[in-house]
Structure formats: C-alpha cells, structure tokens
Amino acid sequence: MRSVLVAGAIALSSLPGLASAQDFITVASTTSTEQSGLFGHILPIFKEKTGIEVRVIAQGTGQALETGRRGDADVVFVHAKAAEEEFVKEGFGVERKEVMYNDFVIVGPGEDPAGIKGGNDAVAALKKISEAGATFTSRGDDSGTHKAELALWKQAGVKPSGDWYRELGTGMGPTLNTSAQMPAYTLTDRATWLSFENKGPLEIVVEGDPKLFNQYGVILVNPAKHPHVKAEQGQAFIDWLVSPEGQKAIADYKINGQQLFFPNASAS
C-alpha cells in the first residue's frame, strides 16, 4: 500500500481515454515547486486538459528520488541532474526530461558581516563567510539545494563545521524563516525567495554566478520495477509539462511581475 505522506494535493481534466472518476497520479517533487506556488498555478490547467488528479509529495530532491525508488510515486520532478541521471541508470526511472530552470541566490543580513554583498562569485562568497565565521544555515536535508550548496563548499575548499554553520534538516521555507530570525546567510532557489514573505533583515547578497544555475528535470518511475506505477497517466503529465501548453503555463507563473521559472524543455 502506498504511503500517504501527501504534502499538497490539487485536483486536476481530458486526454481521451485516460481520465476516470478515480484517476490520479502521485508526483514526488521538491519543496521549491510546491512552496513557490508553481503547482497551485499549473496543476489546475493540467486538470482542465486531462481530468487527472495530481497528488504532490513535497520533499527534498534526495527524499523524492528515494520515494520513487520505493515505488511510492509515479513521477519525480526534481532538481539535481547527477542524482536524476543515476536514478535512471539504476533502472528506477524510464527517461529524464528537462523542464525548466531558474537560479540559486545567496541571501543574508543587510548588515553583511562577511562583506559579500553585491558579488557574483558564489565560491568566493562562501570562503569569506567561513573566514568571517558568519552564521550560515544549511538545509542539511539532501535536497537539490543542499547538494548544490555542498558542491560550492567543495569548490571553495571548505569543509563547513563549527558554531557558525547550522545544519537544520528542513525545507527551504523553514530554513529561510530560521535565517531571518538569526539572522544568517543561506543558499536558496530564487523562486522560493520571491514567494517568501518573512524576509525580515534578509536580502539577496550574491547572484548571477553561472555556478548558481538550477535545472529541473522530470522522470517517470519505471513500471518494470514497480508494476503498480500509473505509467500512462504519469507519461501524460510529463508530456504535458514539456509541451508548448505546459511550457507556457510555467512561464506564465509570476509573483509581483517576476517570472519564477523559465521553461527549456526543447533543450533536453
């Protein structure tokens, strides 16, 4: 029996022959796609098209991929390319398709104790944070954001530890809340940052580094591994995401006039 750890569920409509009264799929995805409000925007459009309900399990990318490995989801929609490719290579996923991108930013207190504000070199910024012993909060949850953060520390030649480095084990929204309260630096995806209302003393201090590029991919869980996977309906969702209609729906999602995600399915 499937686990029912559903963080968000949005009823969705008519690909001929696919929809039925109890038609639904489970998508394991990131906290950023859920907390940014993207799913709240695009899933009703998908419903109108297919009649298929999408039930979202919102968790870090590492956890979402494990959910797929267990067969507790039909589709995974995440943002850690190397881990996604390994998931497919291991036979747990059918095919990875690129869907959209945005970027990561480093946010921190406006007083900027590490002196990194206005920079566009994320690796140099992390070095300065560690040298200053300025408080940094890490999601510490094996999410795509956490994986990206660890890769940047590695490039900086720093093994973060000590009182200044706080591993929280929380999603992006709670991590930003903690960062605002401390205050502390942290790495966040831009979409969650734009939709986050409790910014307090925090502001973007580093952005624009190509190393902060953030690609999202979608994968059908392999029905050969888990025969109960709803492959037809799951593939319908994937096909819609990468179709002109799905890509437009993603591009149309904005907060205060700012686009949060940029479709690039044609690049896959």
Give me the residue spans of the domains in the chain.
8-101+213-267, 104-212
107: Cα within 13 Å, side-chain hemisphere: 29
CATH of 104-212, one of 3.90.550.10, 3.40.190.10, 3.40.630.30, 3.65.10.10: 3.40.190.10
Span 242-264, pLDDT tens digits: 999 999 999 999 999 999 999 99
pLDDT of residue 3: 35
Contact status, residue 45 vs residue 10, Cβ threshold 8 Å: no
pLDDT of residue 4: 34
Report the DSSP pairing between strands 93-109 and 186-189.
Answer: antiparallel
Span 41-98, pLDDT tens digits: 999 999 999 999 999 999 999 999 999 999 999 999 999 999 999 999 999 999 999 9
Identical topology for domains 8-101+213-267 and 104-212? yes
pLDDT of residue 5: 35
pLDDT bin (cut points 50, 70, 90) of residue 20 is low
pLDDT of residue 21: 44
List, in sequence order, every beta strand (DSSP E) within the chain: 8-10, 24-29, 53-58, 75-78, 93-109, 136-138, 165-167, 186-189, 202-206, 213-221, 254-255, 258-259, 262-263
SS3 1: coil
Q: Quick count: other Cβ atoms within 10 Å of Cβ 120?
A: 13
Span 115-169, pLDDT tens digits: 999 999 999 999 999 999 999 999 999 999 999 999 999 999 999 999 999 999 9
- Rounded to the nearest 10°, the torsion over CA 123, 127, 132, 137 is 60
Span 195-235, pLDDT tens digits: 999 999 999 999 999 999 999 999 999 999 999 999 999 99
Residue 211 exposed, middle or buried by CB count within 10 Å (0-12, 13-18, 19+) = middle
Closest to 116 measured CA to CA, from 97, 96, 130, 137:
130
Report the DSSP pairing between strands 165-167 and 136-138.
Answer: parallel
What integer best gives the mean pLDDT of the chain?
Answer: 92
The string of DSSP letters for 100-149 reads EEEEEEEEEETT-TT--TTB--HHHHHHHHHHHT--EEE--SS-HHHHHH
Residue 98 φ/ψ, nearest 5 degrees? -75, 145
CATH superfamily membership of 8-101+213-267 = Periplasmic binding protein-like II (3.40.190.10)
pLDDT of residue 126: 98
pLDDT of residue 22: 57
Count of positions (residues) in the chain? 268
pLDDT at residue 8 is higher than 80? no
